[in-house]
Structure 1
């Protein structure tokens, strides 16, 4: 487990020592949300949010790198103070942690090579399905998707909402579980799996990077939201602890939503505004 310090502009010497140090757990492998660049620096949507939010909160922030599948247990063991790792809000996770307000909400997508039959899948193209309130038409689309994936192996990341969604929705299909999203996508490029389930932000980033390399991958099927996929992504804190800090984080999220910071950073890194206007009134 590695630690990456984040310098806060304008905080030096004794002034920095007076500030609380907030240790944030992340996995550092999930572009464009959080990943390590060639120089070894942690970059992405979430590090940019932290560079803005920590001065608002009045804390000095530090990253702690932790595998995603163990990130909630590590939080509850005290290895860091909060999690910021594209962690979706779900009822199951809320039994173990307290969530902040969400700072981003986006759909989940299937990814496949454009050169395969899956890459030409038309079922649900251009539509969004809300899993918690599916119509009969939505269910029929997912049946078509299930049929199309009948002979495919699909990659998901261990302990993710994507894994939970896929296993609940398509229990008879072949799935390969990965500890890290980057390894899943490497296997997709190498043809060791036929498709992957990932967030829209990571999907767009992956498709763009592969296009630069001369390879054509596409998002297929419907965009998916809600249900097992959660209610947006948020900070997570130990259950019943740090309530004052959590409220300061919530206030900073409200302010960064109101002044457009979260929307701008979302567009910069993901290509769409995934900020949540409802936060302002919560």
Structure 2
């Protein structure tokens, strides 16, 4: 489940250049909204406040509940997705598990479409949103990136990864697409509410007279890939690690290919309501702790995305 103001602004749910080395196999199973899945640490219950060094940093309500409710689009491999057994796996669930050990709580992943996650956060359906979400100024300030109008209270981000956006096409059918400007006059599939969509809309305004980018937006990235695979579009766009994973796994590596360079990178952030500063600061401390103790690097290496790693947990570092 991704602008320097185009996601912000241009940064884009960026991703990592090293993800091409992802050695993860398995098909993705999509689940309906409202499905709840606990990360490994949640299932084992191994994290307890008695052994967790940072438990006291949590708000009392969360500490007493023993659970952090996570809104996530669990169809965005390798960041978060379902494995063949139906278990939620990926970079985000692994990081959540490690942070849970520091805080003495379980991170419970609840599936939802990407463009509804911040709304769910505002309504307190979730405590946090962790879903390869690009930290942008618009999201921090609650501004609609398309209209430039304020649509609600913004969120704070704890930045934990860096990535960029890529374009991919059917394998052997690139139609000379190498840059975003080459998409003018073409059909593009992508996931709704992402930096890819923001970038495509911005680029479409630059197309010469008589041409535009025909944008087909879907609830999740898997639907977009299915459309492209069926011949309903010329290209697709998503965060680089996701695009690289699709290229590697779809059709045994025979369906897609990445074209051109990924757009400049931007941070992924864990989104927290601005009113919940204590939870935000506790999560920042937990992330810094696993960076310091080496667990973070082990997780990033496990998924082959070392180029996107960060050295410290920053608050609202997106532009």
2:227 to 175, 183, 187: 187
Matched position secondary structure for 2:125: coil
Q: CA, structure 1 residues 188+88, in 2 after alignment: closer, same or farther (shift >3 Å)?
A: same
Superposed, 1:190-229 pairs within 5 Å as: 190-210=230-250, 212=252, 215-225=254-264
Matched position secondary structure for 1:85: coil
Is 1:2 equivalent to 2:35 in the alignment? yes
- Structure 2 distance, partners of 1:97, 1:261, is 30
1:52 equivalent in structure 2: 98
- Structure 1 distance, partners of 2:235, 2:165, is 13
Structure that is richer in helix per residue: 1
Gapped regions of structure 1 (runs ≥ 5): 124-141
CA deviations 1:172-220 (Å, max 9, x no partner) are 31111111111001112222111111111101111110362x5152211
Structure that is richer in strand per residue: 1
- Structure 2 distance, partners of 1:193, 1:267, is 34
1:20 equivalent in structure 2: 66
CA deviations 1:94-131 (Å, max 9, x no partner) are 1234333211101110011231133x54x5xxxxxxxx
- Structure 1 distance, partners of 2:303, 2:186, is 31
2:283 equivalent in structure 1: 249
CA deviations 1:20-72 (Å, max 9, x no partner) are 32111112111111111222211111111111111112222212111111111
Tell me if the contact between 2:158 and 2:271 (Cα under 8 Å) persists in the aligned partners: no
| Count of matched residue positions in the alignment of Structure 1 and Structure 2 | 253
CA deviations 1:65-87 (Å, max 9, x no partner) are 11111111111111111111111
CA deviations 1:126-161 (Å, max 9, x no partner) are xxxxxxxxxxxxxxxx5xx42x32332011211111
Tell me if the contact between 2:47 and 2:100 (Cα under 8 Å) persists in the aligned partners: no
| RCO higher in structure (CA 8 A, sep ≥6) | 2
Q: CA, structure 1 residues 4+114, in 2 after alignment: closer, same or farther (shift >3 Å)?
A: closer
- Structure 1 distance, partners of 2:66, 2:135, is 26
Aligned-pair CA distance for 1:264 = 3.0
Is 1:239 equivalent to 2:296 in the alignment? no
- Structure 1 distance, partners of 2:100, 2:154, is 21
- Structure 2 distance, partners of 1:276, 1:180, is 27
1:103 to 155, 160, 163: 160
Aligned-pair CA distance for 1:263 = 3.1
Q: CA, structure 1 residues 92+201, in 2 after alignment: closer, same or farther (shift >3 Å)?
A: same
- Structure 2 distance, partners of 1:267, 1:153, is 35
Tell me if the contact between 1:68 and 1:159 (Cα under 8 Å) persists in the aligned partners: yes
1:149 equivalent in structure 2: 183
Give the stretch that moved more between structures: 217-226 or 261-270.
Answer: 261-270
Give the stretch that moved more between structures: 247-256 or 72-81.
Answer: 247-256
Tell me if the contact between 2:174 and 2:259 (Cα under 8 Å) persists in the aligned partners: no
1:137 equivalent in structure 2: none
Matched position secondary structure for 1:254: helix
- Structure 2 distance, partners of 1:210, 1:62, is 28
